[in-house]
Amino acid sequence: MKKQRIKAVALTTVLSAGALLVGTAHADKTLDAIMQVGQAKTTAGVQSQKKIDKLAEETSDLLQKYKTVNKEIEGLRVYNSQLEKQLASQLKVLEDLNTSIDQVTVIERQIQPLILRMLEGLEQFVNLDVPFHMEERLKRVETLRDNQDRADISVAEKFRQVLEAYNIEAEYGRKIDTYVDTLEVGGQERQVNILAVGRIALMYQTTDTKLSGAWDQRQRAWVELDAGAYRAAILKGIRIAKKQASIDVMELPILAPEAAQ
Pairing assessment for the beta strands 188-197 and 176-185 based on DSSP bridges: antiparallel
What global pTM score does this model have? 0.57
Q: How do residues 1-18 score in pLDDT, each as one tens digit?
A: 555 555 555 555 545 555
In the predicted structure, residue 202 carries a pLDDT above the cut 90: yes
Least confident of 6-10, 42-46, 85-89, 231-235: 6-10
> What are the two backbone dihedrals, phi and then psi, of residue 205, each rounded to the nearest 5 degrees?
-150, 130
Separation of alpha carbons 180 and 205, rounded Å: 10
Q: How is the chain split into domains, by residue range?
A: 108-171, 175-241
Query: Percentage of residues in the chain with pLDDT exceeding 90?
Result: 34
Residues 208, 145: Cα–Cα separation, whole Å: 40
d(CA 216, CA 55): 111
The pLDDT tens digits of the residues spanning 243-259 come to: 898 887 777 777 655 54
pLDDT attached to residue 261: 47
